[in-house]
Structure 1
């Protein structure tokens, strides 16, 4: 595995994919019993991970994992072209984020008459999943704009031509620094000697 073949955006998206898979095993929804009822029953509460909560929890995490795998494949020598490139990754990440948000808003709530005894709602896995979706969406957008894409021409990223013409394609040999290091142009004075602007 050669991580030098991945840029910063690919590394972040790959890490988000891995964290999303791990997050799917964290508690997403919890129910806890309060007060004397908990002491009498000896049960404090239960929680369920994304796999327990259902499709609307585990599917977005697998979507983020798929994005992470696709952008990490060049590190193991497999180049994959995805039509739309970062635009497609951004759309998938945004979809995952929206699904997690909808799942959070549609969790069952406790009826008012039982609220004094039972507490139920989203657990930290839901919040982590939402944050991971937002991070993936932002970095996919940054990768899209760094490759020259804009929101005005996002549709062009999905039309004809090379499938990943608007996405980042890492060089096959990885990053190679220029020979002799960086040398600033001779005709440009250092910043502290810039002529006054008029």
Structure 2
């Protein structure tokens, strides 16, 4: 496997995709329940906490790794638009979805006399946010390295 076939942006996007996938299995949130003076806490990973968002994240991961695989195998397949632009868009979308869940964690937090429930983000969601940003940045950088632009994509679709 000759990694020199990859642009710097493709290396960043591919490595970030692997990091994001791995950390989706770590705790992204902790849920704490208190009844009186007793309480319990449980960690929840991306797969369990985020409904449909992990599907979008996995699509971004797979597309980033697909582009890396295309380059490493010297494939002659050329999609109608820059594959790296799709990586950049999906990475950006992944970043925004993770950021949204940091700002507005899943589940309700609240309290009444003698009872409280709180969901809070854990360290690994922030690592995953950086990984999603890496996918977006890597895709965008690879676009520049191949001379593609978002304006070119808009022209292709008759904007």
Taking structure 2 as the reference length, the TM-score comes to 0.77
Distance 1:70 1:114, change over 3 A: farther
Could you say which structure has the larger radius of gyration? 1
CA contact (8 A) 2:30 2:41 kept: yes
Q: Greater share of strand residues, 1 or 2?
A: 2
Q: Which runs of 5+ in 2 are unaligned?
A: none
Match of 1:81 among 71, 78, 82: 78
Distance 1:109 1:121, change over 3 A: farther
1: CA distance, partners of 2:10 / 2:141: 11
Larger RCO: 1 or 2 (CA < 8 Å, sep 6+): 2
2: CA distance, partners of 1:61 / 1:115: 38
Distance 1:116 1:131, change over 3 A: farther
2: CA distance, partners of 1:8 / 1:24: 24
State the secondary structure of the residue aligned to 1:25: coil
Please name the residue that 1:128 is paired with. Answer: 127
Q: Offset at 1:134? A: 1.4
CA contact (8 A) 1:13 1:71 kept: no
2: CA distance, partners of 1:56 / 1:28: 15
Distance 1:77 1:84, change over 3 A: closer
1: CA distance, partners of 2:6 / 2:145: 15
Query: How many residues are treated as equivalent by the alignment?
Result: 152
State the secondary structure of the residue aligned to 1:120: strand
State the secondary structure of the residue aligned to 1:55: coil
User: RMSD of the alignment, in Å?
Assistant: 2.7
CA contact (8 A) 1:70 1:80 kept: no
Q: Greater share of helix residues, 1 or 2?
A: 2
1: CA distance, partners of 2:78 / 2:51: 28
Q: Which runs of 5+ in 1 are unaligned?
A: 39-43, 161-198
1: CA distance, partners of 2:101 / 2:114: 21
CA contact (8 A) 1:30 1:46 kept: yes
